[in-house]
Amino acid sequence: METKACLVLLFFFLFLSSFLPQSQGKRQGEALDNLFKAKLNKHSTIDKSHFEPISLVHGAKVLSQVGLQERDRIEKLPGQPAVGFTQYGGYVTIDESAGRAFYYYFAEAQHSKQSLPLLLWLNGGPGCSSLAYGAMQELGPFRVHSDGKTLFKNRFAWNHAANVLFLESPAGVGFSYSNTTSDYEKGGDKRTAADNYVFLLNWLERFPEYKKRDFYISGESYAGHYVPELAHTILHHNKKANTSLINLKGIIIGNAVINDETDNQGMYDYFASHALISDETSHQINKYCDFSPNAPSESDQCNNAANEANLNVFPIDIYNIYAPLCSNPNLTAMPKKASVRFFDPCSDNYVYAYLNRPDVQKALHANVTKLNYDWEPCSDVIQTWEDSPSTMIPLLREFMENGLRVWIFSGDIDGRVPVTSTKYSINKMKLSVKSPWQPWYLNTQVGGYTQVYKGDLTFATVRGAGHQVPSYQPTRALTLISYFLSGKPLSDATWGN
Ligand SMILES: *[C@@H]1O[C@H](CO)[C@@H](O)[C@H](O)[C@H]1NC(C)=O
Ligand SMILES: *[C@@H]1O[C@H](CO)[C@@H](O)[C@H](O)[C@H]1NC(C)=O
Ligand SMILES: *[C@@H]1O[C@H](CO)[C@@H](O)[C@H](O)[C@H]1NC(C)=O
Ligand SMILES: *[C@@H]1O[C@H](CO)[C@@H](O)[C@H](O)[C@H]1NC(C)=O
């Protein structure tokens, strides 16, 4: 019960914080903090055991999708510049009896859409929207101007390399909803994976030309859980059916939650090595905290040191430790001069204003049931989170054994799920090195470093990128995804853009 109360409180805190300036840009990570704190609480009822997919006994229900693709086609978004690719948006029913439906936004490739792969992008939280972050602030084709009503092009959008599908998941996130409100009290990793799987089968029925296409799943932050869990669910059902129901080829996750113990340890080590906390606080954390999955409840000494660390990092943007905070969240009457290369820390506010406009919702085919709450970047309606495994490592091993391409990247100035956490988590897998640590280049500049492990797991850093890598380093992020999708090693990336 305490976990429930705790999460309710935390979601309430999120709700409050949405009225404070500067807060919106932090929300994706706040949701993550809340879950981590709840998981460390000794009275926690969150199930942290290994991920087992919900077995869809009769297989997933695939409904008729005739005519729905054409219905979902988006003519033009309000305030949008002219573009040469096609976009779609709409709802896919997940469960007819509960009245549960997921919202998606799909940007087809700018060229060669018949041959380029299909790429699904998921944001984390839990509870945060892939429309809010992925589509509108990171890798999508548009960004929102400071007037909250016009768009400008993202020259480095990932639909130069793939057909990109953004999904708001689970129910209660963004425009995705359930008519059975008790669904919001049963949030968790398992339900999310099962629903995402049902979504995909039905979406592919609506867009049958993508059924046989190479399919990849990508995401950041808590999608370090969602992505492997969905991939595992796909493999599970492909094996059961003895056929490739979904043509999954690989996964790529960035600044991703992978393994709680190493993620926590790596975060505090990053704080210490980047002079955000004192040596004394770091020493206390190392001496008194035990982040292992079966640790007894944390001691007072550990909690005091962790609180001290929180106080130290609170005033900065922990998702990009060198970024300025948003100092004026107000919209402007005329759009400020904007550039994809210089990320505006206030853009959460522009996106919030844009996606809550009735004309925008109409153009997107969103909110067709007139939900009784506003669109939020991270959910205020999901009440509890029932399960969150302490590690994703067994799933990553499974993918390597099954010949999927596995890439893990890390923006190196994120303090929340930093590069140290990711390195510790990969080290935990005890893989041997196939090609050693080396820089990768873009325009003669080092874009980051990469190392490939036997079994074909690629690790790559993105220099100068925060938690939302494509927001801060759009050219480097597009290079990374292009190499991942083409099957070429990132160390080959020596060309200009
Ligand atoms: C949810 O309820 C509304 C209003 O009754 C209905 O129009 C809508 O189709 C329902 N959603 C689903 C997925 O059944
Ligand atoms: C699975 O499919 C393959 C090839 O289609 C077939 O040879 C094999 O017998 C099938 N296995 C089972 C258990 O049905
Ligand atoms: C933002 O707008 C509000 C309401 O119009 C106003 O009171 C406030 O001073 C503005 N903030 C800044 C920093 O301009
Ligand atoms: C849906 O539409 C209603 C009525 O226009 C509006 O009040 C509500 O904020 C919207 N909710 C979402 C999630 O977009």
Residue-averaged pLDDT of the chain:
91
Please state, in angstroms and rounded to a whole number, the distance separating the CA atoms of residues 167 and 219. Answer: 11
Q: What is the pLDDT of residue 297?
A: 82
CA 376 to ligand 4: nearest atom: 13
Residue 83's nearest CA partner among 6, 175, 154 is 154
Q: What are phi and psi of 283, to 5 degrees?
A: -60, -45
Summarised one tens digit per residue, pLDDT across range 52-82 is 888 765 567 899 999 999 999 999 999 999 9
Q: What is the pLDDT of residue 497?
A: 41
Q: What is the pLDDT of residue 2?
A: 33
Strand positions, DSSP E, 131-212: 142-144, 151-153, 163-168, 177-178
Summarised one tens digit per residue, pLDDT across range 209-228 is 999 999 999 999 999 999 99
Summarised one tens digit per residue, pLDDT across range 291-334 is 998 888 889 999 999 999 999 999 999 999 999 999 999 999 99
CA distances from 261 to 36, 267, 411 (A): 11, 10, 20
For residue 11, what pLDDT band results from cuts at 50, 70 and 90? very low
Flag whether pLDDT at 262 surpasses 70.
yes
145 assigned to active site: no
CA distances from 160 to 26, 393, 488 (A): 28, 31, 17
Q: What is the pTM of this model?
A: 0.93
For residue 474, what pLDDT band results from cuts at 50, 70 and 90? very high
The domain ranges of the chain are 2-263+319-492, 277-313
Give distance in angstroms: CA of 123 to centre of ligand 1.
25
3-state secondary structure of 114: coil
Catalytic residue among 23, 129, 221, 491, which?
221
Pocket-testing residue among 330, 346, 349, ligand 3, by greatest number of atoms within 8 A of Cβ? 330
Q: What is the pLDDT of residue 58?
A: 54
Q: Is 367 in the pocket of ligand 4 (CB under 6 A)?
A: yes
Give distance in angstroms: CA of 381 to centre of ligand 4.
14
Please state, in angstroms and rounded to a whole number, the distance separating the CA atoms of residues 438 and 173. Answer: 39
Q: Is 332 in the pocket of ligand 1 (CB under 6 A)?
A: no
Q: What is the DSSP string of 17-46?
A: HTTSTT-GGGHHHHHHHHHHHHHHSTT---
Summarised one tens digit per residue, pLDDT across range 123-150 is 998 999 999 999 999 999 999 999 999 9
Pocket-testing residue among 354, 374, 381, ligand 4, by greatest number of atoms within 8 A of Cβ? 374
Q: Is 328 in the pocket of ligand 3 (CB under 6 A)?
A: yes
The average pLDDT across 439-455 equals 95
Residue 124's nearest CA partner among 33, 210, 62, 42 is 33
Please state, in angstroms and rounded to a whole number, the distance separating the CA atoms of residues 114 and 251. Answer: 21
Give distance in angstroms: CA of 128 to centre of ligand 1.
23
Q: Is 370 in the pocket of ligand 4 (CB under 6 A)?
A: yes
Pocket-testing residue among 356, 367, 368, 375, ligand 4, by greatest number of atoms within 8 A of Cβ? 367
Specify the range with the lowest mean pLDDT, choosing from 26-40, 247-261, 425-439: 26-40
Give distance in angstroms: CA of 361 to centre of ligand 4.
9
Percent of the chain with pLDDT over 90: 82
Query: Residues in the chain, how many?
Result: 497
Please state, in angstroms and rounded to a whole number, the distance separating the CA atoms of residues 184 and 172. Answer: 6
Q: Is 330 in the pocket of ligand 3 (CB under 6 A)?
A: yes
Q: What is the pLDDT of residue 28?
A: 67
Q: Which CATH class is domain 2-263+319-492?
A: alpha beta
Q: What is the pLDDT of residue 76?
A: 97
Please state, in angstroms and rounded to a whole number, the distance separating the CA atoms of residues 264 and 163. Answer: 35
Q: Is 332 in the pocket of ligand 3 (CB under 6 A)?
A: no
For residue 92, what pLDDT band results from cuts at 50, 70 and 90? very high
CA 327 to ligand 3: nearest atom: 13
Task: Identify how many contiguous H helices and E strands the chain contains and give both numbers.
Answer: 14, 14
CA 91 to ligand 1: nearest atom: 13
414 assigned to active site: yes
Q: Is 439 in the pocket of ligand 1 (CB under 6 A)?
A: no
Please state, in angstroms and rounded to a whole number, the distance separating the CA atoms of residues 252 and 409. Answer: 8
Facing residues of 387 across strands? 47
The average pLDDT across 96-124 equals 97
Tokens linked to 300: 């007072």
221 assigned to active site: yes
**Burial status of residue 346 (CB atoms within 10 A of its CB: 0-12, 13-18, 19 or more):** buried
Q: Is 180 in the pocket of ligand 1 (CB under 6 A)?
A: no
Q: What is the pLDDT of residue 99?
A: 96
The average pLDDT across 397-404 equals 97
Q: What are phi and psi of 455, to 5 degrees?
A: 95, -5
Tokens linked to 46: 């969150």
Summarised one tens digit per residue, pLDDT across range 163-196 is 999 999 999 999 999 999 999 998 999 999 999 9
For residue 27, what pLDDT band results from cuts at 50, 70 and 90? low
Please state, in angstroms and rounded to a whole number, the distance separating the CA atoms of residues 77 and 99. Answer: 27
Please state, in angstroms and rounded to a whole number, the distance separating the CA atoms of residues 471 and 474. Answer: 6
Q: Is 368 in the pocket of ligand 4 (CB under 6 A)?
A: no
Nearest residue (by CA) to ligand 1, atom 7, is 369
Positive or negative, the CA dihedral 464, 470, 474, 476 is positive
Nearest residue (by CA) to ligand 3, atom 12, is 328
For residue 20, what pLDDT band results from cuts at 50, 70 and 90? very low
Q: What are phi and psi of 313, to 5 degrees?
A: -90, -15
Flag whether pLDDT at 22 surpasses 60.
no
